[in-house]
Amino acid sequence: MSSPDFSGLVKFLVEPFLDSPDSLRIDCERNAAQSKVWIRVAFSGDERGKVFGRGGRNIQAIRNVVRATAALWGWSAHFDVFGASEQNGPADSGSGRTPRKPSGKPKPQLKPKS
């Protein structure tokens, strides 16, 4: 049994979100003996917001499509995003949420109803 073109699928799913599709890099590592595939994508750091979407919805949908496609073929898929940014360096993986620095402003407090 062969396997689907995971790189082509990821390219098809991610490129519409990118202003510069040339920045997309896809690394697809397969282990046919265990029917596993590891997919790593990287793109320009300023495009993260578009690819991840509000609350990470876009990237989660892409992950779900990749995993579902792999499952249909009897494979398991692992999908990671690596982004290059000037501040953090090349390896950034995970949920897509970047830690925020404290703004120095106190959080607004809720007042009890009188």
* Residues of the chain falling short of pLDDT 70: 1-2, 83-114
Give the CATH superfamily of 6-84.
K homology (KH) domain (3.30.300.20)
Q: In the prediction, which pLDDT does 46 show?
A: 86
Residue located via tokens 């890099």: 25
Provide the angle, in degrees to the nearest 10, between the axes of the packed helices 6-14 and 57-72: 160
Alpha-carbon gap, residue 40 to 4, rounded angstroms? 16
What would the pLDDT profile of 44-56 be if each residue is shown by its tens digit? 888 999 999 999 9
Q: In the prediction, which pLDDT does 106 show?
A: 62
pTM to 2 decimal places = 0.68
Q: Tokens standing for 110? A: 């809720």
The closest alpha carbon to 66, from 1, 110, 2, 10, belongs to: 10
